[in-house]
Amino acid sequence: MLYSLEYFALFVAIISFFSIHIWRINRNSPIPNFPPLGMIPAILFNLSNIHEYITSALKHHGGTFKLRGPLFTNINFFLTSDPMNVHHITSKNFVNYGKGSEFHEIFESLGDGIFNSDSQNWKYQRNLLQSLFKQNIFENFVRKVIHKKLDDYLLPLLNEVSKSRTSVDLQDIFQRFTFDSICSIVLAFDPNCLPNKLSQFREVAVEKAFNKSEVAIFYRHLVPRWLWKLQRWLRIGHEKDTIFGQKILDQFFCDQIPSNREFNYTKDDDDESNFDMIKALVEKSGMKQVDYKFLRDTAVNLVSAGRDTISASLCWFFWLVSTHPNVETKILEEIREKFKTNEENWLISVVKDLDKLIYLHGALCEALRLFPPVPYQHKCAIKSDILPSGDRVDANTMVYYSVYSMGRMEQIWGNDCLEFKPERWISEKGMNIQVPSYKFMAFNAGPRSCLGKNISFIQLKMIAIALLWNFHFQVVEGQSVCPSVSIVLHMKHGLQVRVTKRSN
Ligand code: HEM
């Protein structure tokens, strides 16, 4: 009896000790740590609101904290929104921060393409793509593709929508549009996901496969490696979708770049109407024997890079503009003042002069600041290092930077950081203000900054002008507009809008 009482007292003492310990470490923390499970229960509990939750935790911790996962797992990394830390990782001490082997495993669908490469392999691909992207013929080809897709598909479709008076999901429309256009740009093949008639909408498996694999990749960041590998082995949960999606994607890219495809250079290749990116890659790389895996990996990376980023940017931009009528009016005034002629096909003449649209550029940057299509990025320290915030990063430790949170930091953008204000990007002299990329991180910073930034602004501006000039978009009331839980900042429930034709 005496022994039982002693054991009971000991048990109560141990429980009390741990409870007090857990209470002490979590007293002021917005993300409680429950050893041995770490902060993962809190993260999972707040998953539906993860970007805001992480933002408030970063604010609480002064911009940087260590996220602790369950004991004996690989989940233990730094999270930061401190621009000095980000500048250090992406530029100043760039050589010490790579993507790491874990990144390669999580993003295995990208193969050995540029996003998934480090050191010499990355450098080689970066130089190759950079030399291709900076050619005039490439930029002109992009303009041509977007112009044709607008004229033949998007504008006629929205015209029909405006007559039908029904609501449509603008996110679905933008995803189809950008998938068609990026495939046309990279593969010289248009999968025609976006019809020009409402009655012709159909599910496109390859387009849906991209979305599902992005969600699965997000979850791989949050669960221990052994768990998602087990799920993959058992073919359950999100991993089941990835296996299925991967097969569809592999088949799609194999069909477009078959191993028996021949590449002959002809004089017509200098003409932008005949531009073929895959052929240009073979030419530029000087391959003696065509490396089909390399070409497919490059194509997968570029299609992934250009599809969702552009469609997500468009969705948030149109939502913000539609809910801020004063911004919409100013954009239309700017287009009228700088461009409008009575010509039927006036859009063609303005595409070379897009830099004149100072206010529109500000509005797009503002949408990208508040809703960056890639909300998180991460790097892995090669050797141990001290961040400018004073935090010590051990070798092989991941550092995540939340681009979403950075767009909401008073220290960077001022007290009105949550407001949508295109004027923020315009100087007193009426020019666009250049914000250092380590503060405005939507396109990443340093040697690994986005290679598609220029063509992205070209596309976004062309689409914004054509759509806003011709139509007014009214967001359907009562729907919940919030970010999805994915590696790309889509809208969780899409964006239902009603469309009315403008009489300009
Ligand atoms: C609004 C549109 C876009 C946004 C917000 C965006 C954002 C980004 C970000 C954040 C990165 C860094 C990713 C990382 O290191 O893991 C990146 C890299 C890259 N982007 Fe974009 N991107 C956009 C459009 C495009 C387009 C249209 C293309 C070309 C088809 C493109 C091509 C690339 C490439 C090749 C890289 C790899 C750079 C490297 O690792 O050296 N991007 N982009």
Residue 3 lies in a domain: no
Residue 145 main-chain phi, psi, to 5 deg: -60, -50
Q: Angle at which helices 237-256 and 205-222 pack, to 10 degrees?
A: 140
Q: State residue 26's pLDDT score.
A: 60
Looking at residue 422, its amino acid is P
236-39-98 Cα angle (round to 5): 75
Residue 99 lies in a domain: yes
**Best CA proximity match to 117, nearest among 131, 133, 129:** 129
Q: State residue 57's pLDDT score.
A: 93
Ligand 1 centroid from CA 298, angstroms: 13
Residue 453 lies in a domain: yes
CB 439 within 8 A of CB 431: no
Residue 6 lies in a domain: no
* Cβ of 455 below 6 Å from ligand 1: yes
Which range of residues forms the domain containing residue 337?
31-501
DSSP string, 16-47: HHHHHHHHHHHTT-SS--BTTTBTHHHHHHTG
Ligand 1 centroid from CA 106, angstroms: 18
Residue 350 lies in a domain: yes
Q: Which residue has the tokens 């669908």?
A: 109
Q: State residue 19's pLDDT score.
A: 59
How far is the C-alpha of 504 from the C-alpha of 340, rounded, in Å?
10
**What does DSSP say about strands 392-393 and 385-386: parallel, antiparallel, or unpaired?**
antiparallel
Residue 275 lies in a domain: yes
What is each CA distance from 240 to 215, 231, 424, in whole angstroms?
A: 12, 8, 45
What is each CA distance from 430 to 147, 361, 362, in whole angstroms?
A: 28, 12, 11
Ligand 1 centroid from CA 454, angstroms: 11
* Cβ of 305 below 6 Å from ligand 1: yes
In sequence order, what are the beta bridge partners of 501? 471
Residue 103 lies in a domain: yes
Which three-class secondary structure state does DSSP give residue 253? helix
Which three-class secondary structure state does DSSP give residue 454? helix
Helix H or strand E encompassing 79: strand 76-80
pLDDT of the chain along its 504 residues, tens only?
A: 556 777 766 666 666 566 556 656 565 667 777 777 777 788 888 888 999 999 999 999 999 999 887 766 667 889 999 999 999 999 999 999 999 888 888 888 889 999 999 999 999 999 999 999 998 899 999 999 999 999 999 999 999 999 998 999 999 999 999 999 999 999 999 999 999 999 899 888 888 888 778 878 888 887 888 888 999 999 998 888 888 888 898 999 999 998 878 777 666 666 677 788 998 899 888 887 889 999 999 999 999 999 999 999 999 999 999 999 999 999 999 998 887 665 666 666 666 788 889 999 999 999 999 999 999 999 999 999 999 999 999 999 999 999 999 999 999 999 999 999 999 999 999 999 999 999 999 999 999 999 999 999 999 999 999 999 999 999 999 999 999 988 899 999 999 999 999 986
How far is the C-alpha of 465 from the C-alpha of 346, rounded, in Å?
11
Atom of ligand 1 nearest to the CA of 373: 5
**What does DSSP say about strands 97-98 and 376-381: parallel, antiparallel, or unpaired?**
antiparallel
Total domains present in the chain = 1
Atom of ligand 1 nearest to the CA of 301: 35
Atom of ligand 1 nearest to the CA of 403: 10
Q: How many CA atoms lie within 13 Å of 502's alpha carbon, on the beta-carbon side?
A: 15
Q: State residue 496's pLDDT score.
A: 98
Residue 19 lies in a domain: no
CATH number of the domain enclosing 332: 1.10.630.10
Q: Which residues contact 477 (CB under 8 A, 6 or more apart)?
A: none
Neighbouring C-beta atoms of residue 265, cutoff 10 Å: 11
Q: What is the largest CA-CA distance in the chain?
A: 99
